[in-house]
Amino acid sequence: MEKSQMQGHRKRLREKYLKIGYKGLEDYEILELILTYSIKIKDCKGISKDLLHEFKTIDAVVKAEINDLKEIEGVGTETALQLKLIGDVISNHYFKSVKTADLKTLKGKTDLINYLKDDVGSLKNEEFKVVYLSTDNRIVADEVLFKGTIDRSVVYPRKIMEQAIHNRAKGIIFAHNHPSGNLTPSKKDIELTLEMQELFEKVDIKLLDHIIVSDESYYSFYENGLIEYY
C-alpha cells in the first residue's frame, strides 16, 4: 500500500471509530487502529490479522508475552511493549475491583471470576495461580506459582504450603486456566485439590475454592460440590 493510500486508510479507520465507537469495529480493525500508533510506515491490517490468527482474540493478544508477540512479522519491541502495557492496564483495573472485595459474597465472587478470566483465562499455556485471603476473606496476595499442565510432579504441595504460611493466609483459592476451553477438571486437578485441602486443614487454613477459567466461562469446585467447608 502506497504511503498516501495508507494514510487515507488510517484516517478513515479513525473516523469510523469516532463515528460508531468500539463496538462498531471488527476485532481486526480495533487491533489495527491500536497498531497505527506504534507502527508508522507499514500497513497494519495484515499484522492485525496475523496477530488474531495466532492468538485468536484481542484479549489474548494483549496478554501475550513480549517475545511471543515479536514472533509475528512486523511486530517490533515498541509495538510489543504497547500491547503488553494495554493488557497490564486492563488487568490492574480488574484487580482494583477485586482486591478490596469480600470474596465469599456474590459480588466478590463475580469480581474474582472476571479478574481471573482477564488475568489467565485467555493465555495459550496453562498457569496455576494461588490467591491468599485474610480472615475477612480479602486478598492478601496472589501469585502464579506454576506454569504448564497441572501434575503432581510440577505443582509442589510443599511450595504452596510454604507460600500460604509466608502470606499468613487464612483462606486459599486456587485458579488455573484450560487453554482448550474445556473446563472439566482432570483427575489430577481433583487429586491435587483434595490433597491440599487435607493439608491446609492441619494448619487451620481453608481451601475455599478451585476455579478453572477460560476467557469466557469458569468451573468452580465449590459450586459443583467437589470442595466443602464450614
Q: Where are the beta strands (DSSP E) in 69-205?
A: 127-133, 139-147, 171-177
Of 222, 142, 125, 225, residue with least CA distance to 177: 125
pLDDT tens digits, the chain, 230 residues: what are they? 667 777 888 899 999 999 999 889 999 999 999 999 999 888 899 999 999 999 988 988 998 889 999 999 999 999 999 999 998 888 887 788 788 888 888 888 899 998 898 888 878 788 899 999 999 989 999 999 888 765 544 667 888 999 999 999 999 999 999 888 899 998 988 988 999 999 999 999 999 999 999 988 999 999 999 988 65
d(CA 27, CA 10): 15
- Joined together, the cell numbers standing for residue 96 give 482494583
pTM (predicted TM-score): 0.72
Cell of 146: 506454576
CATH entry, 100-220, from 3.40.1360.10, 3.30.300.30, 3.30.1280.10, 3.40.140.10 = 3.40.140.10
User: For the chain, which residues make up each domain, given as ranges?
Assistant: 3-90, 100-220
